[in-house]
């Protein structure tokens, strides 16, 4: 009898479930950021470097016993710095490599401890993973100020940990797709160089721990062409820290790095004593292509 009374509990149950569903949706919503720029913007997941005069070069998934030294050698040869988003468990396996990256004047960012998509992690698991990552990176002297979740997929717990640690979430605008089995040096360079402009963030990988075996070899072979062509076009290329530093001369930038470094205090210059090269920043063309 009285269907209205029967309907009432069902309605209130539905009403109770709506905020729950909304909360669950919100938890995973940041995960859509890599494919949905408005969502990335809503959760402050940057795809570009703010106020940058150059292009940010970033590498994920290291350190790797073969890939990282090979990438570091090209960067040293080209006198370019980059940001390395490190994986905590790989840092624990190769702490000396992580320290080498820092000593060479590159910037360190947090990627994760274990490389797993955050859509499959609860808030507690997410917090635990990032805490372990921070501990592993801290053990080699890194003090990161950037965060990039695996696959660019974040959840609310990860963003909350990032905020508490003052890590800026940074995704990318140009994916070389060097992690794919079919990637070639040409395909990687072509993807990166297409419609690139100041403030863009390049994503590459110096490791194949979580991608096609040996994929870092194509990355290493693509790098010289990428850096040469960007230099030819007059772009400054460097770590996120370097291209967002508001300083007039390389020496000023280096001194600033010493003062508020994201890594342990280093010499501030390259191990060979040479100042880090800044690309012809006054020749940078206006951004038109985001």
**Which run of H or E residues covers position 17?**
helix 3-28
Give whole-number Cα distances, 205 to 219, 223, 275, in Å. 7, 11, 25
- Chain-centroid distance of CA 16 in Å reads 38
Provide the minimum distance between the beta carbon of 12 and Zn ion in the complex, in angstroms, as a whole number. 44
Q: Which is nearer to Zn ion, 60 or 257 (CB)?
A: 60
DSSP of 144-199: --EE--GGG---HHHHHHHHHTTPEEB--SEE--TTSTT--HHHHHHHHHTT--TT
> Does the annotation count 257 as an active-site position?
no
Q: Does 61 bind Zn ion (CB under 5 A)?
A: yes
Task: Mark the segment that binds Zn ion (CB under 5 A) among 58-66, 74-82, 120-128, 187-195.
Answer: 58-66
Q: How far apart are CB 210 and Zn ion at their closest, in Å?
A: 6
Indicate if 60 belongs to the active site: yes
Of 60 and 178, the one with the shorter C-beta distance to Zn ion is 60
- Asked if 109 and 87 count as a contact pair (C-beta separation under 8 A), the reply is no
Q: Which is nearer to Zn ion, 145 or 209 (CB)?
A: 209
- Find the catalytic residue in 48, 174, 205, 240: 205
Minimal distance, residue 115 CB to Zn ion, in Å = 6
Give the nearest distance from C-beta 152 to Zn ion in angstroms: 9
Asked if 242 interacts with Zn ion (CB under 5 A), we say no
> Per DSSP, which regions of the chain are E strands?
55-60, 83-87, 107-112, 146-147, 168-169, 174-175, 201-205, 237-238
Q: Binder to Zn ion among 31, 150, 176, 185 (CB under 5 A)?
A: 150
Q: Which residues bind Zn ion (CB under 5 A)?
A: 60-61, 150
The residues annotated with a catalytic role in the active site are 60, 205
């Amino acid at each position: 009898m009285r269907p209205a009374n029967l309907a009432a509990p069902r309605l209130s149950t539905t009403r109770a479930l709506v905020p729950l569903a909304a909360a669950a949706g919100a938890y995973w919503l940041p995960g859509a950021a890599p494919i949905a720029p408005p969502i990335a913007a809503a959760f402050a997941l940057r795809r570009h470097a703010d106020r940058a005069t150059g292009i940010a070069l970033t590498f994920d998934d290291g350190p790797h016993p073969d890939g990282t030294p090979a990438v570091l050698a090209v960067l040293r040869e080209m006198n370019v710095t980059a940001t390395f988003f490190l994986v905590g468990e790989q840092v624990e396996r190769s702490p000396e490599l992580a320290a080498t990256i820092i000593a060479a004047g590159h910037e360190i960012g947090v990627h994760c401890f274990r490389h797993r998509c955050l859509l499959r992690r609860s808030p507690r698991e997410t917090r635990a993973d990032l805490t372990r990552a921070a501990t592993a990176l801290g053990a080699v002297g890194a003090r990161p100020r950037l965060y990039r979740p695996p696959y660019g997929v974040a959840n609310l717990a990860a963003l909350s940990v990032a905020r508490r640690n003052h890590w800026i979430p940074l995704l990318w605008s140009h994916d070389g797709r060097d992690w794919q089995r079919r990637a070639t040096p040409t395909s990687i360079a072509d993807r990166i160089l297409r419609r690139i402009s100041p403030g863009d963030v390049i994503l590459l990988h110096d490791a194949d721990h979580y991608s096609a075996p040996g994929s870092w070899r194509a990355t290493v072979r693509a790098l010289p062409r990428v850096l040469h062509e960007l230099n030819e076009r007059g772009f400054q290329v460097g770590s996120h820290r370097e291209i967002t530093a508001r300083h007039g001369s390389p020496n000023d930038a280096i001194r600033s790095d010493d003062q508020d470094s994201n890594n342990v205090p280093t010499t501030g210059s390259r191990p060979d004593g040479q100042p880090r090269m800044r690309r012809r920043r006054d020749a940078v063309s206006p951004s038109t292509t985001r």
